[in-house]
Structure 1
Amino acid sequence: MAIKSALLLCLSFALLATPSQYCSECSLPWQSFRGFCYLLVDVPKSFWEAEGYCKSLSRGRRDAHLVSVTDDQEEDFIEEYTKPSGQNDIRIGFVLNHTTDDYYWVDGITSRYTDWDAAEPTRNGEDCAVLKLSTHWNDRGCDNPYPFICKIPGKYTK
Structure 2
Amino acid sequence: MVAQPAQARLQCVPYARDHSGIELRGNAHLWWGAAEGRYERGQEPEVGAVMAFRSSRAMPLGHVAVVAQVIDERHILIDHANWSTPGGIETGVPVVDVSEAGDWSEVRVWYGPSGSLGSRHNPVAGFIYAGSAPSVQPVITVAQASLPDNIGG
* TM-score of the alignment, normalized to the shorter chain, above 0.5: no
Structure with bigger RCO (C-alpha 8 Å, 6+ apart): 1
The structure with the largest helix share of the pair is: 1
> When the two structures are superposed, what TM-score results if normalisation uses the length of structure 1?
0.31
